[in-house]
Structure 1
C-alpha cells in the first residue's frame, strides 16, 4: 500500500491564488511586471492543480467525509477561473486556456467524485443489496388456512436450500509441496480483485452468506501461505485504491476516455504555448510557464502510464490483459514496487525501562512540556524487523487449522473469540497460573502484558543443551523467535498504536505505565549489582570468543543491550514470588510485573520444545483476537500508512470464515403445501 502524502488542505494555497488573480487582475499583475494575458492563462492551470494527483485524493478517511466542501469548491473555482478568462477574452492564450479549463474541470470533478464514493456512508449504500422480503409467508398461510377450514388434509413441507458437498481439505504440507496449481501474477491479481469485490463490505460491517464463506474457504484451503498473502496484498491494494485514490471512478470505458482526453488537452496546450506564444513574453516568465506546463504534461503521462499498466486494467479490460501482462513482465526490473512493506514494528517493555531510567530528568521535563514524549519514545524505542516467510506460514497454518475445525457458524464464533485458552485446552495444561492468564476473568491488555514480560523472561534465560535431533531443535528455535517477534509487535500496537487496540485494550495504558514504573524502581535498586553482572557477562563472552579465535575486541551496542536485558531478566526471575503480588500490594497499582514472573516460572517447568510450541500458538491467538476485534474502519485507516500485519490476519480470518459477519446460514427455505387425498 502506498503511503498517502497529499492532503486536501494543500489545495488551499491554490484556491487563494485563483481568488487573488480574479481580484487583482489588471492591478497586481502590473506591479509584478507580468503580462495580463499570461496571468489569465495561469488561472486555469491552477484549476488543473486543484484536481490533485491521480494516486491520492485523501490523506485519511475523514477527508472523504468532506466531499461536499470539495463539490462547492469545484463550482466556485470553475466560476472564478471562467470569470478571470472573461476579463481578457481577446488575449493570445485563449485557446490553451480553454483547453486547460476543460482538463482541470475533469480532474477536479474526478477527485470530488472519488471522495463522494469513498465516504463510508456512500460506500456502504452502494454495496447494500436490494431489499429482500423473502418468500410470501402471508399468501402461503392463507392457502394453508383455507385448506384447513375446508377440512382438506394439508401439511407444509420445508425443503432447505441444497448445499454442495463439503470438499476434501488437503493437508497443508501437500499444498506447500504441490507445484501444479501455482498461481501466476495475473491470476493472483484476478483472484485478489474477485475477493475484493466480495469482502470490501468488511470495511462497513456488512454481512455475508454461507455461499461466499464456502467459496472463500475452499480457495484458501487449496493455496500455499505465500500465495494467500500475495492475494491478500492485491486485495488490500484494491481497498486502498477505492478509499484513497481516484481509481474507483475509472472502471468504465468512458472514464478511460476522460483520462486520455485530459492528457491530449494538456499536451495540446503545451504545444500551442511552445510553438506560438513563447516568444511574446519575457524570458523568465516564459521559462516558468514552460516548466509548469512541462511538469503537468510529465505528471499526466506518468499517471496515464500507471493506469494502463495497473491491476485495474488487467481485471477490467479482458482484451488488453495479454499485452499488459507481457509489458509488466518485461518492465519488472523497473517496477519493483512492494505492495506491502513486509515489516513489523517492535517494542520491548524491559528494554524501554532500562533506557528510561538512564534518561536525564531535565530532558524528560522538556519533552513533557512540549507534549513530545510519545513522539520521542517512538523514535527512540521502536525497532523494525522484516516479516519472514516462516512467520507468515506459521500464522497461516494456525488459522487454517482452526478453520478446519469451524465447520459451522457456532464453532466459528467460538474460535473467533479465543485468545489463548483454545491452545491451552488442547495441551491440557496443568498449571493454574498459565490457564488463568488468558481466561475471560483477565482483561485482554493484562493478558498481553503478562505474556509479553513472560516471553521476554523465558527468551533471555540461558538455554540448556537439548538432547533433540536437528529438526526438533530448528523447530524450537523458530517458535522461540516467533514468540519474541509477536510479543514485541503486540506491545507496540498496545502502546504506540492504541487506536488499533481501542476495542480490546481496556486500561492498557495505565497498566503499562504502572508496570514500567515498578520495573524502573526495581532496576534502580540493583544498579551497582547490575553493572558487575554485565561486566562479568561481557568478560565471559570475550573469553569464549577468544577460544574460538574470533575477533571480539569490542562489543556492538546491540550486543551490549542484549546483555543488559539478559541480566535484568535473570534478576527478575530471582525474586521469590510464592505469594501473589496483589495480596501484598493491593490493587491500586495495576502493575503486572511480578505476576508475569510467576507466569514465566510456571512456563519454565515445561520442557523447552513444548513450552515454545505452546507460547507461539498462544501468541497467534492473542494476535488474531486483536485483529478480529479491532474496528474495521481502523484497519482501513491503516492502509494509508503502509498496512500492518494485524490487518492481514483480520482479512485472513474473514476468508477462512472465522468471524461474526457470516449470518446468512441457510438461505431461503422452499416451503410446499402438500394436499393429502
Structure 2
C-alpha cells in the first residue's frame, strides 16, 4: 500500500499536533487583544482582514485543540509511539476554555454576532463537558488543584463573553432600556366621577394642567442669536467624559429606534447650545460613540458592573494562583516531557500577560473615569479630589490635537499673487487647524474620505486640500499606490491589445480559409466548417465563461471597486469645517421646538437653505427644483458635479472685498468641496450607509460616467487627464433646453443637468449679489444631515468598528440638537382636576 503522507511527517504530526493547535489558539488570542482595539481608529482593510480572520479562527482552533486532547486521552499508547503526557495535557483543556472566553477587546466582529449568544451558551456547556471528560480520563492527577483553578477562570471568562453577547443583542439591548408600561392617568375613573357629578346636577368641570416640567420649559426665540452674553469656564477632560457617559445612557436608544421625550431633548439642547466652542461638542460625541462601540462589540460594559468587576478579579486571581502552584511544583522536568512543560509555561505566561493588559485597559478606559465619578453641581469643584485630578490627567493624554496648516499654492484658492507665486502678497492665505491626534491616542480615524466624479472620469491626479501626513507616510503611499495605478493601466492596455490581436488573427485566418475553400473541395468540406463552427468561437466561449464567473463571484464589481479606491484619499478633519457644521445645526435647533418642526428640518435636503437665504423669485425656485423635483441620489450627483464645475472656475470668481469676507468666501468654497466629495464617496463606496436614500445612485453614476466618456472622446480630451480641461468643455455646451427634454429619460445621466445647475448658480450670484459658495456650503450640510438621519442606526454602529465616519458624528449631533423624528413625546402627561362648584 502506498503511503500518500510519508511516515516521518506523520510522526511529527503525532508529536506536535496538540502542541501546535494550543500555541495557535494562544497566538490568535494575542492578535485579537492587541489589534482589535485599533479597528475603531482606522478603516485600513489589512487590519480589518487580520482581525476578522483571527476572530473566526480563534474559536475553531480552540475547539480543534480540545478535540485532539479528548481523542488523545481516550486512547492507549501503542508500543514505540511518541510520548503523550496525558496528565499535563489535561491542564491544557481548561486553558482552551479560557481562550474561548475571548479577549475583553472584542466579543463580536459584527452586530449579527451578538444574536448568536445562545450558541455560545451551548458551546460553554459542551466545552465544559469535554474539559471534565479530559480531566477524568487523566485521574489520578497530581495537577488537579491547578486544573480546577484554570477551569474556574476559563468558565468565568466564557460566561463574561456570553453575557456581553446577550446584553448587546439588539432585542435584549432594546429590552434593557424599555421602562415599565405606562398606562397614563386613569381616564375611565375620572370620566365616571364626572358623569356621576353631572347626573347629580352638580356644577362640574375638568381643568387640564400641563406636566410641571412641560410648563417650565424654556421658550424658543423666533429669531435667536448665537451670541452668548456670559462665558463660562471650559469643560475639563473629566467633565467631557462624564457628559458623554450621561448622554450615552440617554441616546443609546437611537440604535434600537426608541422614542424620546421633551425632557431628553431639552436637557441635551441646553448643554450643547451653551458649550463654549464646537470642539467641546466634538470631544463629547467622539467619547459617546466610543461608549456605544464598547457596549456592542466588547466586554467593557459587562465588566463595569459590580458583578463583572468581581468576576474579573476572581478570574485573574485564580489564573495567577494556578501559575504560582505550577511553578512551585517540584520535579516537573522529570515527570513531564520537556517540550510540554515549555508549552505550559508559555500558556501561563502569555495568559497572565494578556490578562494584565486587559486589566490596564479596563482601569484606564473612558468608562472607568466617567462611571466612577459623578458630575459636580458646582463647576469650580470639578477637580476637587485627587482621584478626579488623576482621571482628568489620564483623559488629557487622549485629547484632540490640532496642527496648523497654510492652504495656499496648492491649487485650492489662488489669487493673482498666487498665480505669480508671490505668496507674501497673497490675500487668500489661510491657516486651518487640522486634526492630528497620534494614532494610538485616537478615538476614531479622524479623516474624511473623498471621491471626485470628474477626477475619476478623466483619470486625473487627485490633489489634497490639506495634507497632515508626514513625509514618511506621504512617500510610502506614493510607493504603494504607484504599482496599483500602473498595474491597472497595464491590465487595461493588455486587454485591449489581446482583443485587437484576436480580431486581427481571426480576420486574417478567415480570409485565408475563404480563399482556400474556393479552390479546394476538401478545404470547403472540412477546414471551413471546423474553423468557423468550432475554432473561431473559442474566444467567444472563453469570454462567455469569464462573464459567467465574473457575475458569479462578483469579480467585475470587485475590480471596479478597487479601481475606484485609487481615487479616494483622506482629508483630515479641520476645526473650521466642524465649527461650520456645528453652528449650522445649532442655528436650526432654534426652530425645532416641536417634533413636527424638528422632523421638517431633518427632512430638508437643500430647500431650507435656498428659501431662507434667497428672496422669493424665479431664480430661487429655479434652484429649489434641483432638490425638490428630483430623487435624493439624483440631486446628490447633480450638485456634486455642479460644485466641482464651480470649483474649477476660481479664476473667474468675483472675490469679495475685505480680508474677513475673502476668508469666509474661501472657507465656504473649501467646505463645499470637501463635503461634496465626501458625499460622493458615501454614495459610491459606502452604500451600506446610504441604503435608505441611495435609490438607483449606482445606475445614475454609471450612466453619467458613460456619457462623460463619450463626450470626452468626441472632444478628444480623454487622454488629457485634466479636470480643468473637462470643466471648460462641459460648461461650453449650450444648455438652453432641459437635457431630459432633448434626450428622454431612459438614460439616468445627469452630466449636463449639473452643468445647467452650475450656470444657474453663477446667474444667481450675479442677480442677488450673494456668494454662491455660502449657499453651496449650507446646501451640502443639509444634504449630509438628510443622509445621516435617514441612515439605518445599525449601519452607523457597524461603521464605528471600521474607523468611524463624519456622518456618524453628524447623526449624533443632530440627536443632541433635537433634530430627529425620534423625539415624539412633546406633551407628556396632562394633569386633569375635577372641579365641583361655580
TM > 0.5 fold call: yes
Give the deviation of 1:173 after TM superposition: 5.3
Find the residue that maps to 1:156 and give its secondary structure: strand
Match of 1:617 among 766, 773, 778: 778
- Contact 1:64/1:119 (CA < 8 Å) preserved in 2? yes
Who is 2:690 aligned against?
Answer: 501
Who is 1:556 aligned against?
Answer: none
Find the residue that maps to 2:691 and give its secondary structure: coil
- Contact 1:220/1:655 (CA < 8 Å) preserved in 2? yes
Find the residue that maps to 1:674 and give its secondary structure: strand
Instruction: List aligned pairs for 1:599-614, cutoff 5 A.
Output: 599-605=757-763, 606=765, 610-614=771-775
Who is 1:558 aligned against?
Answer: none
Match of 1:388 among 563, 574, 578: 574
Who is 2:351 aligned against?
Answer: 296
Match of 1:22 among 61, 67, 70: 70
Instruction: List aligned pairs for 1:378-417, cutoff 5 A.
Output: 378-417=564-603
Who is 2:606 aligned against?
Answer: 420
2:819 is equivalent to residue 658 of structure 1: yes
Who is 2:807 aligned against?
Answer: 646
Change (3 A) 1:629 1:455: same
Give the deviation of 1:253 after TM superposition: 2.5
> Larger Cα Rg: Structure 1 or Structure 2?
2
Find the residue that maps to 1:155 and give its secondary structure: strand
- Contact 1:8/1:63 (CA < 8 Å) preserved in 2? no
Change (3 A) 1:390 1:71: same
Counterpart-to-counterpart distance in 1, 2:228 and 2:563: 46
Give the deviation of 1:609 after TM superposition: 6.3
Counterpart-to-counterpart distance in 2, 1:644 and 1:438: 24
Find the residue that maps to 1:405 and give its secondary structure: coil
Change (3 A) 1:298 1:418: same
Give the deviation of 1:515 after TM superposition: 0.6
Find the residue that maps to 1:3 and give its secondary structure: helix
Counterpart-to-counterpart distance in 1, 2:797 and 2:757: 36
**What do the CA deviations read for 1:641-665 (whole angstroms, capped 9, x no partner)?**
1211111111111111111111111
Counterpart-to-counterpart distance in 1, 2:714 and 2:67: 66
Find the residue that maps to 1:666 and give its secondary structure: coil
Give the deviation of 1:29 after TM superposition: 8.0
Who is 1:461 aligned against?
Answer: 649
Give the deviation of 1:133 after TM superposition: 0.6
Match of 1:631 among 786, 792, 795: 792
Match of 2:211 among 161, 168, 171: 161
Change (3 A) 1:482 1:325: same
Name structure 2 gaps, 5 residues minimum: 1-36, 41-50, 375-382, 399-437, 461-487, 497-542
Who is 2:748 aligned against?
Answer: 590
- Contact 2:220/2:593 (CA < 8 Å) preserved in 1? no
**What do the CA deviations read for 1:486-509 (whole angstroms, capped 9, x no partner)?**
011101111111111111111111
Match of 2:828 among 645, 652, 667: 667
Count of aligned residue pairs for this structure pair: 643
2:205 is equivalent to residue 205 of structure 1: no
**What do the CA deviations read for 1:45-88 (whole angstroms, capped 9, x no partner)?**
11110011101100010000111111110111011111111111
Counterpart-to-counterpart distance in 2, 1:673 and 1:467: 66
Counterpart-to-counterpart distance in 2, 1:71 and 1:57: 14
Match of 1:221 among 273, 283, 292: 273
Who is 2:501 aligned against?
Answer: none
Counterpart-to-counterpart distance in 2, 1:378 and 1:297: 45
**What do the CA deviations read for 1:131-161 (whole angstroms, capped 9, x no partner)?**
0111111111111111111111111111112
Who is 1:113 aligned against?
Answer: 163
Who is 2:114 aligned against?
Answer: 64
Match of 1:260 among 302, 313, 321: 313
Match of 1:12 among 56, 60, 69: 60
- Contact 1:420/1:618 (CA < 8 Å) preserved in 2? yes
Give the deviation of 1:577 after TM superposition: 1.3
Who is 2:286 aligned against?
Answer: 233
Change (3 A) 1:32 1:619: farther
Who is 1:549 aligned against?
Answer: none
Which stretch has the larger CA shift, 473-482 or 350-359?
350-359
Counterpart-to-counterpart distance in 2, 1:29 and 1:292: 25
**What do the CA deviations read for 1:158-208 (whole angstroms, capped 9, x no partner)?**
111232241788854548xx7632111110110001011111000001011
Match of 1:477 among 666, 684, 693: 666
2:99 is equivalent to residue 49 of structure 1: yes
Q: Which has the higher contact order (CA 8 A, sep 6+)?
A: 1
Name structure 1 gaps, 5 residues minimum: 535-560
- Contact 1:29/1:39 (CA < 8 Å) preserved in 2? no
Give the deviation of 1:412 after TM superposition: 1.2
Find the residue that maps to 1:579 and give its secondary structure: coil
Which stretch has the larger CA shift, 349-358 or 45-54?
349-358
**What do the CA deviations read for 1:293-324 (whole angstroms, capped 9, x no partner)?**
21111110010111112222223324998437
- Contact 1:433/1:598 (CA < 8 Å) preserved in 2? no
Which stretch has the larger CA shift, 40-49 or 26-35?
26-35
Give the deviation of 1:433 after TM superposition: 3.8
Find the residue that maps to 1:438 and give its secondary structure: helix
Which stretch has the larger CA shift, 575-584 or 395-404?
575-584
Counterpart-to-counterpart distance in 1, 2:226 and 2:804: 27
Give the deviation of 1:268 after TM superposition: 1.9
Who is 1:352 aligned against?
Answer: 456
Counterpart-to-counterpart distance in 2, 1:193 and 1:73: 34
Who is 1:194 aligned against?
Answer: 246
Who is 1:128 aligned against?
Answer: 178
**What do the CA deviations read for 1:402-423 (whole angstroms, capped 9, x no partner)?**
0012222221111111000000
2:3 is equivalent to residue 3 of structure 1: no
**What do the CA deviations read for 1:89-139 (whole angstroms, capped 9, x no partner)?**
222322221111110100000000110111101111111111011111111
RMSD: 2.6
Moved over 6 A (4+): 167-170, 356-359, 364-368
Who is 1:342 aligned against?
Answer: 446
Match of 2:368 among 308, 313, 318: 313
